[in-house]
């Protein structure tokens, strides 16, 4: 599964237990960047959930990360590393079943300049990756993951500027 790389994992620290569990948007959804709520906390959270849908889409389509690229700043090195990991692990000929991320909870913290840090806790189910040829298939177990996204408002929409795993 995808995991963020590098960065400070100290903020935001906790994920509230009362945050509503929500399924990510459909696998074919393209992050709009602005969402209906625009440059607000609610808009940042909605965009973060749309970004999760782009990750699910990339996994389900054998590494098609175009939607992720559209939702990220060009300077996001951790984003590029994560996309590369997805592209290499899944590959264009893989058939993928299951494993979609579901947002269980989230926490937010305002960052300078009107940006937001959004910490997301996910759960994901078992996943089967069927690659051409014999002996290349993988069966992944279900699990949980926590990620922090630094979201910036750029050219009228939200963009991911950093994507890091929280230990």
Give the per-residue pLDDT at 77: 98
What secondary structure letter does DSSP report for 92? T
3-state secondary structure of 79: helix
Place of tokens 């994901």: 124
Residue 30 confidence (pLDDT) above 70: no
Architecture label for domain 22-165:
Roll (3.10)
Give the per-residue pLDDT at 91: 85
Cβ atoms < 10 Å from Cβ of 53: 23
Domains of the chain, by residue range, sit at: 22-165
pLDDT in tens, 43-96: 999 999 999 999 999 999 989 999 999 999 999 999 999 999 999 999 888 889
3-state secondary structure of 66: helix
Provide the pLDDT confidence category of residue 133 given band limits of 50, 70 and 90: confident
Nearest of 68, 63, 25, 34 to residue 163 by alpha carbon: 68
Residue 148 confidence (pLDDT) above 90: yes
User: Token pair of 15, please?
Assistant: 């994920």
Q: Which of 5-9, 49-53, 66-70, 129-133 shows the lowest mean pLDDT across its residues?
A: 5-9
Provide the pLDDT confidence category of residue 16 given band limits of 50, 70 and 90: very low
Give the per-residue pLDDT at 36: 56
Q: Which of 7-16, 77-86, 92-101, 102-111 shows the lowest mean pLDDT across its residues?
A: 7-16
Q: Is 2 left (phi over 0), alpha (psi -120 to 50) or beta?
A: beta
Distance CA 102, CA 95 (A): 20
Give the per-residue pLDDT at 32: 53
Place of tokens 């889409």: 57
């Amino acid at each position: 599964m995808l995991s963020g790389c590098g960065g400070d994992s100290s903020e935001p620290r906790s994920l509230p237990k009362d945050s509503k569990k929500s399924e990510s948007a459909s696998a074919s959804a393209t992050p709009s960047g602005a969402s209906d709520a625009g440059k607000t906390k609610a808009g940042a959270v909605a965009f973060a959930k749309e970004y999760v849908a782009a990750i699910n889409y990339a996994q389900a389509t054998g590494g098609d990360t175009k939607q992720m690229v559209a939702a990220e700043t060009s300077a996001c090195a951790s984003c590029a590393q994560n996309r590369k990991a997805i592209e290499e692990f899944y590959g264009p000929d893989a058939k993928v079943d299951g494993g979609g991320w579901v947002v269980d909870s989230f926490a937010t913290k305002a960052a300078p300049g009107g940006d937001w840090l959004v910490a997301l806790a996910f759960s994901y189910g078992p996943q089967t990756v069927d690659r051409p040829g014999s002996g290349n298939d993988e069966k992944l177990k279900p699990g949980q993951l926590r990620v922090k996204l630094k979201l910036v408002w750029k050219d009228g929409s939200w963009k991911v500027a950093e994507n890091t795993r929280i230990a």
